[in-house]
Structure 1
Amino acid sequence: MTFDYWTLGFQAVNVLVLIWLLHRFFWKPVAAMIAARQATVATLLDEAKAKQAEAEAALAKIAATKAGLAAERDAMLATARKDAQAARETLLAEARAEAEALHATAKAARVRAAETLKANAIDEAQGLALTIAGQLAARLDGPATDAAFLRWLVEGLAALSDTERTALAGVELELVSAADQDSPVQDRIAAAITNALGTPAKLTFRTEPALIAGHELHAPHFSLRNSWRADLDRIAAALGEKGDLSDAA
């Protein structure tokens, strides 16, 4: 085997020329293209990072907005619940007040009706008592009945204090009787009153059948009622006091 140095030299020259050509016309443009592509990629990466930062900022803003909306919604719901509770309490208070007013009105109506019934019953009882008293008085011995009421009148005067009897001594007194009194009876009545007062009495006489039976003694600032009608009035007043109505319902 022989080695041709000329062939080796030409091949070496060809390789050097090929390397120079590649370096001159291929590696520089390729390197430039690679550098440009790298710059472009770097720019795109920077833009992508900027977009990512913007996206993250937008997401953070959206999250903050959502949190604010949630807080606002919670506040609105709390306010709505509070307003609803206040409205409910107001309605309940108004309903209670209206119910109490209705109850009070019904109670007042019941009391008025009961008082009316009581007054009517008392009036009827008084009328019946007057009728019965009149019928009984008509059947009793008139002089004996007058004597009994006169005795009670004198006892009433005797029960007064000395000062009260002295004050009546010089006063014009009116004696009212249920029946007409003749002169002898008037003299007897005047004597009994004078004896009770301890001094002569100044008497005028008047008849009032509404008394049913008995005598009453009146002065400008004094009255001593001693008649059947006065007894009935006292009984009716006592019934009215004991019959005071109360409604606790």
Structure 2
Amino acid sequence: MSFDWVTFGFQIVNVLLLLAILRYFLFRPVANVIARRQAETDAALEAVEKAKAEAKAATQKAQAEADATAAARQDVLDQARKDAEAERLALLEKAHAEAEKIVSDGHAAHERNIHENKAQQMARVRDLAAAIAERALTAQPQDVGSYLSRLVASLQKMPPTERGALLKGGNLTLMSAAPLSDSDLALVKSALAPFEINPEFSVAPQLIAGLELQSDSGAIRNSLAHDLEQITEAMRDDGPD
């Protein structure tokens, strides 16, 4: 078999023509596209890096401005605290001075008026004491039976719940201003029998006169001492004529 150089030459020419055609119509456009895409990619990366740098710079600027604002705000707050403290101290000093002046003026006025008012006050006290004693003695019962009637009436008028709490409370005690005689004691027990109670009996001279019932849950005041207290309070509320 002989080698055909002519055919081989034609094939070489065909290959060279094919490569030339491919280079012109394929490789060059593809290379241009790749170069253009690479340029676009580089431009995008450059834009991204630029944006990052700008964002970083903006962040640093904003942080610096925030730090400066915080420092300025802190300075303002510190100055405001100092001003407020100074004003508070000044007001306290002024208030103390005014209070001392008021106290001093009050003492001076008191000293000026004490001698003038002493006689008037003593007269008012005497009049008040006489009026209290007169009212109390006028309305006051004269015997144990009368006080006992008032005590029973008070028990009957009490709401059932309040009365039950009083009578069932611990340390239920009937107090009298003086020791009760046997007859008075029997009268008291008979009057309290409907309430089904058995109180302890105690002597309380501070009552002056009367009978009072008390327990850990409450009390019924029924004595001359209590009447005097009520009359005194009423006359204080009424004031001088």
TM-score (ref. length: structure 1): 0.42
Higher relative contact order (CA 8 A, sep 6+): 1
TM-score (ref. length: structure 2): 0.44
Question: Which of the two has higher C-alpha Rg?
Answer: 1
